[in-house]
Structure 1
Amino acid sequence: MEDKAKTRDHVGSLERGLAVMEILARHPAGMTLTEMAEEAGLTRAGARRFLLTLTATGYATQSGRQFSLSPRLLAIVRSWLGGASLWTFAAPIMRDVAGQFDEACNAAVLSGEDVVYVARIPGRRILSVSLDVGTRLPAHCTSMGRVLLSWLGADELKAFLAEAKIERRTPKTITSRTALAKAIDAARAGGFAVVDEELELGLRSIAVPICDRAGKTVAAINVSAQSARFSVEAMERDILPALRTAKQQIEEFFFV
């Protein structure tokens, strides 16, 4: 019954019209009616109706025998992108990472001496640290913080290291400013950071930066896991490649 209902509600002409738009998008130089009919698997009469409808509604333009998409489609995309944050659209990518390891995947930006969570896909395991969108954590002892700090300008980083409040959260927290500077340098050189029980005993995390088209780091994403489940070596071997794939997908989708 459910399949029949779906078939009854399916608008085949809309589906074919959207397919015609996708084909036009792949041919920015334009296409003739005959070329569209062949690629879309339509009759010439059918292709003509779709192309003329798109032209009449402003979604396509015609120049001689050539049809191409119009800028009107960009206005729709702009409205769509403006109605939600980047992280709304990145959530499926982060959810895939979290699902691979059954652990939380998070995103954060730098705000003063802290990182602020802007997206979070929870894992199934409960941590004593309460985390949600808007949570602030000290940048010096978090993997996303180390990554974000590693891309600061030299003067900004020098000021952070001189002025930031460096608290000991666990016996493993790096509190020496010299040692912290080395850890931040390592994050810059490697393109990732691992923090091993410095924020909370029993918690490890690994992070990579998210960069815009100019190469500027605008955020970071990480996976946080219980130390009993993942060693540092396992995080670098297994989780880091998945994070780098997610980083590439997010950057390509939003910034390329």
Structure 2
Amino acid sequence: MDEETVSRDHVGSLERGLAVMEILARHPSGMTLTEMAEEAGLTRAGARRFLLTLVATGYATQSARVFSLSPRLLSVARIWLAGTSLWTFAAPIMRTVAAQLNEACSAAILSGEDVVYVARIPGRRILSVSLDVGTRLPAYCTSMGRMLLAGLTPAELDAFLSRATIESRTPKTITDRSLLAEAIGKAGTDGFAVVDEELELGLRSIAVPIRDKAGRTVAAINVSTQSARFSVAEMQREILPALIEARQRVEDFFVV
């Protein structure tokens, strides 16, 4: 596209209006008309038109002489992110973890009694359990499930434990509901969950929660490995730091 076409199609007023929104975003406590005019390089009349337009369209609020951005902009961001999928952004972060450890890295959300995989970066080592995006596994005997259950309110967790189908998947599966509640509580206190051959013999996994801006657990990410590759202590020492770093980076996409 040549410069003449760009110039003809360029809407200067929209550009200035977006600049005003960005300036407001940098001042969460709000700004006066005079402050906006000075920082945006606009006349007071020009700044006033942009600010009042934002107020009229719901993107800003006015309290006396102070203008601030409204939550509507966050709603727009959420709609965009929902259509784009946060896990599209998280995948490269998870891929780094998988490559660093040479193990699979996955993400899941809670759905009823199960976890549902929303992202998965396979490792090079073969596990007999077949996992992919959309796979459902019992929450009670998976590391991500334990972490997601730890994010429930006490009443929600009690309801889950009372209704969930809990059965032995291996000789090591915790099936006693009181012991299971203790394991879930420990995961919440520790900030991570380890499941040692409870889903499948020879399979260990460790998970951490993904929390939104309000502190709610909305997902979990884990690394799964063969028990011959890492002991539980080695997982906490070698895998957990990488997961925590990845969690912090993924959570950046959940703050809107």
TM-score range, shorter chain: 0.7 to 0.9
The residue type equivalent to 1:136 in the other structure is R
Percent identity reads 66
The residue type equivalent to 1:149 in the other structure is L
**Structure 1 residues 139 and 60: alpha-carbon distance in aligned structure 2, compared to 1, 3 A threshold:** same
Task: Measure how far apart 1:115 and its partner are.
Answer: 0.5
Query: Which 5+ residue runs of structure 1 have no aligned equivalent?
Result: 1-10, 14-49
Contact 1:210-1:217 at 8 Å conserved across structures: yes
**Structure 1 residues 65 and 121: alpha-carbon distance in aligned structure 2, compared to 1, 3 A threshold:** closer
Corresponding residue SS for 1:225? strand
CA deviation map 1:63-112 (0-9, x unaligned): 578459x999x799777534311111110111111111011100001111
Looking at structure 2, the residues matched to 67 and 175 of structure 1 have their Cα atoms a distance apart, in angstroms, of 66
- Alignment map for 1:83-162 (pairs within 5 Å): 83-162=83-162
**The one of 3, 9, 12 aligned to 1:56:** 12
Looking at structure 1, the residues matched to 247 and 99 of structure 2 have their Cα atoms a distance apart, in angstroms, of 16
Contact 1:210-1:221 at 8 Å conserved across structures: yes
Corresponding residue SS for 1:149? helix
1:7 maps to what in 2?
A: none
Give the TM-score normalised by structure 1.
Answer: 0.72
Count of aligned pairs: 205
**Structure 1 residues 178 and 92: alpha-carbon distance in aligned structure 2, compared to 1, 3 A threshold:** same
CA deviation map 1:212-242 (0-9, x unaligned): 1111100100000111111100110111111
Contact 1:54-1:60 at 8 Å conserved across structures: no
Task: Measure how far apart 1:60 and its partner are.
Answer: 3.2
Looking at structure 2, the residues matched to 229 and 222 of structure 1 have their Cα atoms a distance apart, in angstroms, of 16
Looking at structure 1, the residues matched to 210 and 39 of structure 2 have their Cα atoms a distance apart, in angstroms, of 44
Task: Measure how far apart 1:208 and its partner are.
Answer: 0.5
The residue type equivalent to 1:59 in the other structure is E
**Structure 1 residues 65 and 86: alpha-carbon distance in aligned structure 2, compared to 1, 3 A threshold:** closer
Give the TM-score normalised by structure 2.
Answer: 0.72
Query: Which 5+ residue runs of structure 2 have no aligned equivalent?
Result: 20-36, 43-49, 60-72
